[in-house]
Structure 1
Amino acid sequence: MTSETPLGARAPGKLLLLGEYAVLFGAPALVTAVDRYAEARFTDDVDERPRAPEPAQAVAAVEALHGTLGRGLRTDVSALRTGTMKLGLGSSAAATAAAAYAAFQAVGVTPAPRALFDLADAAHRAVQPGGSGVDVAASSYGGTLRFSREGDVVHIEPVALPSGLVVRVVFTGRESSTPAMLASMRAFEASSPDRFAAARDALVTEARRASRPVASPAAFVEAAGAYGDALRAFGEVVGIPIVEDAALAIDRLARANGGRAKPSGAGGGDVSVAFFAGADEASRFDLAAEREGLMTLALAVDARGPHLVFG
């Protein structure tokens, strides 16, 4: 295999910055791609397909449109994990986008980001129907996006984060199950519809406020902190530990050093994201986090979208 022949494709993981849970109810979310990539590698076994159902579904969808790949394909999400634990960076969405992108390339098609999203999102929702698709959008586009979904109508808009904003990502030390958190939320919705509606509407209002474009990094930090507080209030009403003890401790440490932190994604574990208006504040946080024994992940945000991998 020459250096000009692609070995496969990569698609980035995601970091949800604002809009968790509210995005399920039509509110906008801000999401950014991170430089941890799922890979879909071509193999010589023409019948080999990804073992995970979401990327396998995506490959089947491409073949239904364009015919058989004529090559095998397997996926690898190890870069989105630490040891055996997932980090909450959207590994299944990234694997689905990577597999779809590689499959398109194998049949001679370079998909536009929206076409890739539409196919990968449908494949992912066929297996995991409860999500918004925001993670698939990040993995299909790369960069930073404002995302919203109302029914089948999806809006995806590339955006820029405020100049000077510094982002840190901290692993809470435990995995979280997004399907389990969503199931608990839906159970509360069924048992207490009026209380749920009030809590939902308050969160949606805060998500709309927080996701408005701002030029100042300090304004973004303030908005992120307010949304983290709203997430905590929503979780307390609904009875799910979105902002659990580790996330609270990370936020306290961020506040002590001039920033704010909140869970990224469903919460209850996985990662928290901390925001700072400048490098000095972030550096102080880094030192404090090291003293506390916290696991800060080396991640870059606004990362490149899907692309081919060469030897």
Structure 2
Amino acid sequence: MNVSAPGKLFLAGEYGVLAGGPAVTLAVDRRVRTVPATLARMDPLASECLAGAYVYLSAHGRMGPATLPALDLSAHRAQGQKLGLGSSAASAAVWVAASFAAAGLDVEPNRDAVFEVAWRAHTSAGGGSGADVAAAVYGGAVAVTPAAPSGTHGALAPPEVEALDLDPGWMPVVVAGGRAVSSREVLARLEASPARDALLSRARAAGERLVAAMRGAPDEAAMGAVTAAAEAMVAVADALDLGADGGRTVLERCQAIAARYGGAAKPSGAAAGELCLVFLPRLDPKARAELKAALRGSGLRILDVKMDSMGVETRGGSTP
């Protein structure tokens, strides 16, 4: 049995989702895959996934596996660095789905259960809001709203997940930025910061504005929402000293180039800017091609990613 799950882009709601605000994530075609006939090293995330799956399966009269498969994370790395595409969330989705499959449970009719177990495992191992896990499990674009503010781990209920019919114009051009930052490290710094509440309040307001814009087609007003979200994330980066490794420089260059086409840019995920998303105010293939050429011409590296609508899946033959 081969299992895989997509990576993700965090389109809107970073940090604000930790204060109970909404978020939008998009599954992309950079999959984490099982490696046949090879066992995983039991790190904290793997241990949480194995234990969580065992508890769920036992409660439903099934025998959970004693081991987990190793994973191929190569699609989430380039030039020796993590890309910031949600490899840990995708790993959790794969390991839980693999455990269900080993116990004879198909993913599709049990997708909600896979999500809840993977979300709890990812959170317990130091993950964030669960918005990235939702993209990995369900695929496509998802709007996520926490059941309760989740600034500390151990929320009582999983977040609410809604499939979002995202307008194609919202598909960003994705630019590689600085070094990927550990979510666990960022969350620890945020919890210790005296500015935590103010930062999260600003991020939540910006996230709510951008999520609302993403329920329609992109336009000039929506580009203002993108810029406001970027400013809120930069404020977090400054307060937590996350602006190293070129992420800020990449963001500023992306913003300057996007402005030539009436667009806007924001970081995706951790505020250090390991990825930058560049949006245009309308679906315009010619303008998009010119934008990409301008970004490349300035020395920026574009990641070729597409939306992945499948979510986590299992196959008995070759890996999907």
Normalised by the size of structure 1, how large is the TM-score?
A: 0.86
1:258 lines up with 2:262 in the alignment: yes
Other structure's SS at 2:160 match: strand
Other structure's SS at 2:145 match: strand
Match of 1:3 in 2: none
Match of 1:171 in 2: 176
Other structure's SS at 1:244 match: helix
1:272 lines up with 2:273 in the alignment: no
Match of 1:225 in 2: 227
Which of 58, 68, 74 aligns to 2:49? It is 58
Contact 2:46 2:68 in 1 (8 A): no
Match of 2:73 in 1: 77
Contact 2:234 2:271 in 1 (8 A): no
Whole-Å Cα distance in 2 between the matches of residues 80 and 57 of structure 1? Answer: 22
**Structure 2: any 5+ residue segments left out of the alignment?**
149-154
Match of 1:216 in 2: 217
Whole-Å Cα distance in 1 between the matches of residues 69 and 239 of structure 2? Answer: 45
Match of 2:117 in 1: 119
Task: Give the deviation of 1:187 after TM superposition.
Answer: 2.1
RMSD: 2.3
Which AA in structure 1 matches 2:118?
A
Whole-Å Cα distance in 1 between the matches of residues 120 and 36 of structure 2? Answer: 23
Contact 1:51 1:74 in 2 (8 A): no
Whole-Å Cα distance in 1 between the matches of residues 118 and 279 of structure 2? Answer: 30
Whole-Å Cα distance in 1 between the matches of residues 123 and 144 of structure 2? Answer: 16
1:140 lines up with 2:141 in the alignment: no
Whole-Å Cα distance in 1 between the matches of residues 235 and 123 of structure 2? Answer: 28
Identity of aligned residues (%): 30
Other structure's SS at 1:164 match: helix
Other structure's SS at 2:8 match: strand
Contact 2:10 2:268 in 1 (8 A): yes
CA deviation profile, 1:53-74 (whole Å, cap 9, x unmatched): 3134313432342324387621
Normalised by the size of structure 2, how large is the TM-score?
A: 0.84
Task: Give the deviation of 1:104 after TM superposition.
Answer: 0.9
Task: Give the deviation of 1:199 after TM superposition.
Answer: 3.5
Which AA in structure 1 matches 2:91?
A
Other structure's SS at 1:217 match: coil
Whole-Å Cα distance in 1 between the matches of residues 24 and 304 of structure 2? Answer: 20
CA deviation profile, 1:225-268 (whole Å, cap 9, x unmatched): 22112322444456543972222222222222332111100121
**Structure 1: any 5+ residue segments left out of the alignment?**
1-5, 190-194
Contact 1:42 1:71 in 2 (8 A): no
- After superposition, the Cα gap between the structure-2 partners of 1:173 and 1:236, relative to the gap in structure 1 and judged at 3 Å, is closer
Whole-Å Cα distance in 1 between the matches of residues 40 and 47 of structure 2? Answer: 6
Task: Give the deviation of 1:24 after TM superposition.
Answer: 0.7
- After superposition, the Cα gap between the structure-2 partners of 1:269 and 1:176, relative to the gap in structure 1 and judged at 3 Å, is farther
1:203 lines up with 2:207 in the alignment: no
CA deviation profile, 1:156-188 (whole Å, cap 9, x unmatched): 111011243341111014332332222222222
